[in-house]
Structure 1
Amino acid sequence: MSASDCLVTETPDVLRAALERADDGVVILDSAHRITHFNAAAERIWKLARADVLGRDAAALSLTCLQADPVVDFRDEISLVRRDGSRIKAAVSLASIVAEGAIHHIVFARDVTAEAERRVRIGLLNAVSDQTNRVVIITDTDQNIRYVNSTFTKLFGYTSAQAEGRRAAELIAGSHTNRKAVGKLVERLMHGGRRGEVETLVYDKDGEEIWVCARIDAFRDTKGRVKHFFALLEDITETRQLRSLQQLIMSALADEVPITEIADRLCRRVEQIAPDVVCSLLHVDSAGLVHPLGGPSLPEDYSRALDGIAIGPDVGSCGTAAFYGRPVLAIDLDTDPRWQPYKARPLQVGLRACWSTPIKAKDGRVIATFAFYFRQSRAPSNWHRRIVDACVDLGAFAIERKEARAEIARLAYHDILTGLPNRAQLRHLITTAIDACPTGGHVALAFLDVDHFKDVNDTLGHAAGDELLVQLAQRLREQIGPADMLGRLGGDEFVILLPNRNAESAARVAGQITDALSAPLRLGSKPMQMSASIGISLYPDHATDIDTLMQQADAAMYMAKQAGRSTHRLFSAEMNGLAEQRLALIAALRRAIAEDALTLSYQPQIRSRDGAVHGVEALARWHDPVLGEVSPAKFIPLAEECGLIEQIGLWSVREACRQMASWRRAGLNIPSVSVNLSPINFRHVALAARLADILAEYELPPNALMLEITEGTFMQDGAAALETMHAIRALGVGLSVDDFGTGYSSLSRLAHLPIRELKIDRSFMRDIEKDSAALAIATAVVRVGQGLGMTVVAEGVETEGQRKMLAELGCDVVQGFLYAPALAPVAFERWLIEHSAEQARAMLGRLDVAPRDAVAVKRSA
């Protein structure tokens, strides 16, 4: 007899008592599959009373495992439908025993519904955990890893099997991990503190750095005891660390921080997020010399020693990288041949390797280098490369911005045509010279005006005049000493500052200049004779303030002109009559305005696409019975000084509209007239109403009038000018920015101004055929203007080559001596008739070709 038989037959009461107390449901079936035992746990599981099932067939239990024939042993989790229709998950096992020669079946059942649901929840949590882009790590209280999600594997390279059971610090912490901050947070959690987060460097399976934000919390039991730690790690390498570099640069640029301070901040920030490097930023100037911009962790004497070193093929890492335009790595400074002249100081402070990357401008020039020094002989990691990729772009942006601002500052204080100091810079130079003048010393000021220069512009065009001014400036430079300074006030007026020169010495310089100008300048192959009148004043003999000194030098220059030109005069007390002459000139100008003695000349503007007249520009002219032709370059500034400019501007608009109305009545088709207005005109909000009255008076549509303004109009008195400009555009009158490209207004501001037209300044036309910079500027203006929906007009076009080049650029309209100078109304009418006839002949010629071609084709057919 078996042991089971003994249990069934010899100790039924003990067995039954034991089965009754069992947690699992126990059901015993006889060989006929009738239920012979049904314990209390079985009643709970099936929700059946034993009295209702004892002696019944096993089919009442809805167990398919009992329906097989023969019945075999079975173990599984099944879904069990109970008598009341409810469903549970049950772990069921079936065993067969032999007792008294008969087979009995014992069914063990346990309700595992809660456990199954928990497993489902855990499975769902695992699935969710694996779907998140954040790393999940669960450890025990000893920080041994118990669980990691799939993101952990993707980021760090360890499988869950490789990670589980190992200490987290052993697996992903490294030399620059902030273990102290993590330890403090864990300690706080162990003592009931709240969760927290730490930003730190961690390392993947290959030792590459990863910046993470780790949010750490504790799992506690019902008694509040810590059972596990939970860490959620987010990779912030891109989102926070690299973007912090971008934010640092952009905010510094917005705050107008000097480039050296920006470089210092950038290097310090890089050294925070890459603690194993020492960072350096060097500027490379146009001569190929390096200049330290940032390197706060490098020895100061080492940085100073680098200043002014020329780049080359064997000049350390930075000089070589700048020379070749590609990254250079020196793994061992001590043995690298490129480092031999420069290695001593870096090795002395523990720097063993250097990796330098060139920073390039948009045009491909190397403008800087960005270097990492290492304390070990090593190559950069992927993290280092990502930092450098970001910093190279940011560095290029910051340095190009610095160069652009330096160029803007240079343009603000230097004449764009000659490169000489302009009026603003000259005042500063004169002040400096006077302040430095020793007791008993002198400062001489020479005012030079080119004789008959207007004739050059009128006969040969402004481009020729500009070229001669450039040559003149060069010749003047050759006649002055190294301590002397030459500047251009504008037009054909130059100033020469002569520190520590008395009257006799200054007169010798003026005589040398006169002699030097006796040799003709050359315009192409054509010699051009030029001369100049020079006036000299002395500090402190004649005046002690700049304005008076300049006025006296100007007065002396006029005396030189009256003396026959091509000579010089020293100011004397007798020349104080200059003030009277100026007053007389102002009186003459007032009289000319009152007597309607000013006139307008008209220069045509021609459409590039078809040669048709786009419009005309009205230019003010003044011929005085006594003074003769007075240049606009003289009387317009004078009018601004004495408050007459606004009156001249409104007169110009009225006269231009009157002339336009007259031409239209005569059947001449001129689409619009452009009139130059001073910024002063735009200070008055009533300007739009005045324009409306004038247009109504002459029955002209608003689009027949275009007002030309300078960039200074909306840079000064911005609010008032902008209000007036919007009112004018609402009226329908066009606004054109004259001399665009010579100022430095904001393009972002330009995009929001009510401007309809941009005019490229004539100074860019002179060299557009041979100077890539002038061509680039003209191209940029065309693209900017057309991109903003504006018409682009090029002034000063004097050659067919210039016209063709502008047409290829897509410039809408050209204006200049190529077509006509500014003409009096009658002369302009004759020109317009001839131009229209020429256009008609050209059109007929094109039309005549087509019929002949058609006849030829027909005959050949």
Structure 2
Amino acid sequence: MSRLGGARRDRKKRLGHHRSASLDRFPPGPTMSASDCLVTETPQLLLAALERADDGVVIVDDAQRIIHFNTAAERIWKLSRTEVLGRDAAVLTLKCLQADAVTDFRDEISLMRRDGSRIKVAITLSSATIDGAVHRIVFARDVTAEAERRARIALLHAVSDQTNRVVIITDTEQNIVYVNSAFTSLFGYTSEEAEGRRAGELIAGRHTDRKTVAKLVKRLMHGDRRGEAEVLAYDKDGEEIWVCARIDALRDKKGRVKHIFALLEDITETKQLRSLQQLIMSALADEVPIAEIADRLCRRVEEIAPDVVCSLLHVDAAGLIHPLGGPSLPEDYCRALDGVAIGPNVGSCGTAAYYGEPVLAEDLDTDPRWQPYKAMPLGIGLRACWSTPVKAKDGRVIATFAFYYREPRAPSNWHRRIVDACVNLGAFAIERKEARAEIARLAYHDILTGLPNRAQLRHLISAAIDACPTGSHVALAFLDVDHFKDVNDTLGHAAGDELLIQLAQRLREQIGPEDILGRLGGDEFVVLLPHRDAEGAERVATGITEALAAPLRLGSRQMQMSASIGISLYPDHATDIDTLMQQADAAMYMAKQAGRSTHRLFSAEMNGLTEQRLALIAALRRAIAEGELTLSYQPQIRSCDGAIHGLEALARWHDAELGDVSPAKFIPLAEECGLIEQIGLWSVREACRQMASWRRAGLSIPCVSVNLSPINFRNVTLAARLADILAEYGLPPDALMLEITEGAFMQDSVAALETMNAIRELGVGLSVDDFGTGYSSLSRLAHLPIRELKIDRSFMRDIETDAGALAIATAVVRVGQGLGMTVVAEGVETEAQRKLLADLGCDVVQGFLYAPALPPVAFERWLIEHCAEQARAMLGRLDVAPADRDVVKRSA
């Protein structure tokens, strides 16, 4: 544009010179046409020059008349000269030609032509004085195409500056000729600072892969298509930036390279750091060990940050350091770090782990925290170290992530960004490792006691058997806590759990370092005793029994504890794990039958007993499912008049193969295998059904008592179930009495107490069975919803001769009387016992003196006979005539 302006100025000067000279020589005549005027006043040579000019030339005199309009002007305005010469200049629609306009003007304007089209025109206006009059000369050039090209270029510049990708254009010598605003934003150089400099000198650095870029440019110069490369570049401040460079050539029409075009994308975040995330996630998905994950992570970091040596250390729960990853560190250096305790002055990593904050040592040689440890890193050329703690979600420091440098320095911003990413990734990987380790531990260890569980015990027993030398033994002790069910039922499961924890601790104290203690589940434990024969195993069992003799403290209570232990030997008793454990289990049941709190060594005879027990459990389950259990009823007689007080319903089982099975045998078995609650509810339903049937038949029986397990009373829905059963058979609540042992209510079982209160509110009676045999608390008894006390049958045998038995019976009667409760004596077999109890004031007696427990039909016959006998006795007391007696008998 400047060169064009200079040419125009020269042209104007020449035109003005020729114009003034010609006009002086050719003064105008009196009257001439416009064309004659032009010919007369302008020399032919000048006219020819103006006609051939590329620019439109218009001359306007001082009267605003157009006196010259060349061919180029005709093309621009699309007006012929005959239409404009001699006319007012306003026909050209140029504001600069208005009478009061400026005399000098230069600009590009939009010109509306006669045909309605619009073009862009560069206008230059000059003035010249001719014969004392001012003439104005207009040079006009059509610049529409040039303006459009400039607009396109400006648009391209705007688009280039709007993109976040860097645009660099160089000549064939790689000197920069253009950069966009994204270049300035990313690298910090202005376009003025960049243009004219070689691109490689401006943004390449120490670790830039120059060879790859040079190969791409060389291939482009030889006609190859564009190429792409990921390279490490550096900004104005020397900070690292990873870019993806797409390089292409701009060629002329002949295919010759005129410029090199490079499009750079910052991939620091999108690719380089995400590649770390992808690496960790894929490794975790593939179940790669944590040490290999750490190694891969460190190697990848060293690829994207070539000036660092990377290290990842694990910090265990004891505060000890263990190398996880450090592929560029010598093995002896890593070994030296293993087991070092963290502390306030333990290099960079130990200090960072101790304080939970990043630690930078810019010069290991002078940093006081490195003085005891600096010799080895300095010996391998490491001069600085920056360590960052890796923290778990709960705030624990679980690792450190460190960068070593080969010269004294601080980390760059790029290094800090890497560490920010790696700390989170490292924490995720290590926590995942810890979680998987915990899952594995839970899979093979008991949650409550931390002991090996059943699955792990099998592995341990198998390993012990495999390692057992010829002539040696492996002993297996199977331990079951005595009466543990009572603890859970009376004190609650929390107390039961605490008992098991304390038991496990005592057992650990009784076994040797090579012995293994495990928990099978519930209250069953196993002690694996390698290299122990029968004698050695029994010594361990005896020691355990003695250690358990001391009471445990559960909260504020002292609790007695014991266990039954069964022992089997490999290879004497069995050579496989399953048989060995079955035999130890059988021996343990023999210990229980021997009175508990002892041990038994397996013998061949025990196999048959174990098989019998398993068969009995299976038969009991079948009997319950198929309705083979029945109830028998034992009458309870009032002492005052011999009338029926009620009945006690007692479960009976007759098996087609086993015959009659004693309740003393199948009730404990039901408790052991979890069937007792089911039997209790069935007993309530069956007793209520029978009572309803008798009442419909006209038999007046006041109440039926049913024994329930303490487990039943831990069920909060028991009262609702009882209400439903009573409603189903149309019985009033006082027709049902539930018998419960002392242990079910004398302990702090909130659920049991709430259930008993709900039952009492329902109107169903509660009777304490076997009162006096446990650890009764009279103060507690006074506040419980109890309606009846039962004196245990064990006191009846010697009540006539044993002063102690008589004293207890007397005390129970007095307690019942004082609390307004009915007292029932069980096991009464003689008239002397009945009379003694009646004299004591005992309200009700039951036992063989009157009748054993009878099936329903037999009880009905007994009841008829008992009523007839009562009637005869009454007649005898009243001395009724024989004829009347027959009437009374028939009525009875």
TM-score over 0.5 for the alignment? yes
Report the residue type matching 1:95 in the other structure: S
Partner residue of 1:612?
Answer: none
Write the mapping of 1:737-752 to structure 2, written as runs, cut at 5 A: none
The Cα of 1:356 is off from its aligned counterpart by 0.7
1:551-600 per-position Cα deviation (integer Å, ceiling 9, x unaligned): 1111111121222222211112222222333233323332343336599x
CA contact (8 A) 2:620 2:666 kept: no
Write the mapping of 1:429-578 to structure 2, written as runs, cut at 5 A: 429-577=460-608, 578=610
CA contact (8 A) 1:4 1:97 kept: no
Bigger mean CA deviation after superposition, 199-208 or 411-420? 199-208
CA contact (8 A) 1:144 1:164 kept: yes
Cα distance in 2, alignment partners of residues 822 and 597 from structure 1: 30
Report the residue type matching 2:759 in the other structure: E
* Match of residue 759, structure 2, among 823, 829, 837: 829
Q: Does 1:399 align with 2:331?
A: no
CA contact (8 A) 1:5 1:100 kept: no
1:437-456 per-position Cα deviation (integer Å, ceiling 9, x unaligned): 11211111111111122222
Partner residue of 1:7?
Answer: 18
Partner residue of 2:388?
Answer: 357
Q: Does 1:589 align with 2:621?
A: yes
Partner secondary structure for residue 441 of structure 1: coil
Report the residue type matching 1:293 in the other structure: L
Partner residue of 1:627?
Answer: 665
* Match of residue 241, structure 2, among 205, 210, 213: 210
Partner secondary structure for residue 750 of structure 2: coil
Q: Does 1:225 align with 2:256?
A: yes
Q: Does 1:299 align with 2:229?
A: no
Across the aligned residues of Structure 1 and Structure 2, the Cα RMSD in angstroms comes to 3.5
1:492-525 per-position Cα deviation (integer Å, ceiling 9, x unaligned): 1110001111111111111111111122222234
Report the residue type matching 1:32 in the other structure: A
Partner residue of 1:324?
Answer: 355
The Cα of 1:6 is off from its aligned counterpart by 5.9
Q: Does 1:416 align with 2:450?
A: no
Partner residue of 1:201?
Answer: 232
Partner secondary structure for residue 751 of structure 2: coil
Cα distance in 1, alignment partners of residues 435 and 499 from structure 2: 28
Q: 1:74 to 1:176 in 2, by over 3 A?
A: same
Partner secondary structure for residue 566 of structure 2: strand
Cα distance in 2, alignment partners of residues 586 and 831 from structure 1: 39
CA contact (8 A) 1:139 1:228 kept: yes
Partner secondary structure for residue 198 of structure 1: strand
The Cα of 1:68 is off from its aligned counterpart by 3.2
Q: 1:573 to 1:799 in 2, by over 3 A?
A: closer
1:149-197 per-position Cα deviation (integer Å, ceiling 9, x unaligned): 2222222222222222222222222222232222222222222322232
* Match of residue 73, structure 2, among 38, 42, 49: 42
Cα distance in 2, alignment partners of residues 522 and 228 from structure 1: 91
Cα distance in 1, alignment partners of residues 294 and 385 from structure 2: 18
Cα distance in 2, alignment partners of residues 145 and 12 from structure 1: 53
Cα distance in 2, alignment partners of residues 400 and 28 from structure 1: 90
Q: Does 1:340 align with 2:351?
A: no
Bigger mean CA deviation after superposition, 28-37 or 372-381? 28-37
1:255-285 per-position Cα deviation (integer Å, ceiling 9, x unaligned): 3222222222222222222222121111111
Q: 1:529 to 1:348 in 2, by over 3 A?
A: same
Cα distance in 2, alignment partners of residues 291 and 110 from structure 1: 82
Cα distance in 2, alignment partners of residues 833 and 108 from structure 1: 123
Partner secondary structure for residue 106 of structure 1: strand
Partner residue of 1:23?
Answer: 54
Structure 2: 5+ residue stretches without partners: 1-12, 23-41, 632-652, 654-660, 690-710, 713-725, 729-744, 766-892
Cα distance in 2, alignment partners of residues 124 and 635 from structure 1: 88
Cα distance in 1, alignment partners of residues 629 and 182 from structure 2: 86
Report the residue type matching 1:252 in the other structure: A
1:318-376 per-position Cα deviation (integer Å, ceiling 9, x unaligned): 11100011000111122222223332332233221111111111211111111111122
Cα distance in 2, alignment partners of residues 119 and 163 from structure 1: 23
The higher radius of gyration belongs to 2
Percent identity for Structure 1 against Structure 2: 75
* Match of residue 257, structure 1, among 269, 276, 288: 288
Report the residue type matching 1:283 in the other structure: H
Q: 1:114 to 1:374 in 2, by over 3 A?
A: same
The Cα of 1:626 is off from its aligned counterpart by 4.2
Q: 1:572 to 1:496 in 2, by over 3 A?
A: same
Query: Please, what TM-score do these two structures have when normalized by structure 2?
Result: 0.68
CA contact (8 A) 2:294 2:324 kept: yes
Report the residue type matching 2:760 in the other structure: R
Q: Does 1:266 align with 2:198?
A: no
Q: 1:3 to 1:522 in 2, by over 3 A?
A: closer
Cα distance in 2, alignment partners of residues 587 and 174 from structure 1: 87
CA contact (8 A) 2:58 2:138 kept: yes
The Cα of 1:30 is off from its aligned counterpart by 3.6
The Cα of 1:699 is off from its aligned counterpart by 14
Q: How many residues align?
A: 654
Q: 1:412 to 1:5 in 2, by over 3 A?
A: closer
Partner residue of 1:142?
Answer: 173
Q: 1:821 to 1:174 in 2, by over 3 A?
A: farther
Q: Does 1:119 align with 2:150?
A: yes
Partner residue of 1:819?
Answer: 751
1:786-820 per-position Cα deviation (integer Å, ceiling 9, x unaligned): xxxxxxxxxxxx999xxxxxxxxxxxxxxx93232
CA contact (8 A) 2:109 2:121 kept: yes
Partner residue of 2:82?
Answer: 51
Bigger mean CA deviation after superposition, 436-445 or 219-228? 219-228
CA contact (8 A) 1:212 1:235 kept: yes
Bigger mean CA deviation after superposition, 255-264 or 2-11? 2-11
Partner secondary structure for residue 362 of structure 1: coil
Partner secondary structure for residue 141 of structure 2: strand
CA contact (8 A) 2:365 2:383 kept: yes
CA contact (8 A) 1:535 1:570 kept: yes
CA contact (8 A) 1:94 1:106 kept: yes
The Cα of 1:832 is off from its aligned counterpart by 6.4
Cα distance in 2, alignment partners of residues 174 and 186 from structure 1: 18
Cα distance in 2, alignment partners of residues 434 and 237 from structure 1: 58
Cα distance in 1, alignment partners of residues 43 and 475 from structure 2: 135
Cα distance in 2, alignment partners of residues 70 and 554 from structure 1: 122
Cα distance in 1, alignment partners of residues 221 and 630 from structure 2: 93
Cα distance in 1, alignment partners of residues 685 and 279 from structure 2: 59
1:618-663 per-position Cα deviation (integer Å, ceiling 9, x unaligned): xxxx997243544778526xx9xxxxxxxx99x99x989999x99x
Partner residue of 2:277?
Answer: 246
CA contact (8 A) 1:331 1:353 kept: yes
Partner secondary structure for residue 533 of structure 1: strand
Report the residue type matching 1:267 in the other structure: C
Q: 1:598 to 1:433 in 2, by over 3 A?
A: farther
Q: 1:131 to 1:525 in 2, by over 3 A?
A: same
Report the residue type matching 1:355 in the other structure: W
Partner secondary structure for residue 819 of structure 1: helix
CA contact (8 A) 2:64 2:99 kept: no
CA contact (8 A) 1:322 1:369 kept: yes
Q: Does 1:91 align with 2:21?
A: no
CA contact (8 A) 2:310 2:404 kept: yes
CA contact (8 A) 1:361 1:396 kept: yes
CA contact (8 A) 1:592 1:598 kept: no
Report the residue type matching 2:502 in the other structure: Q
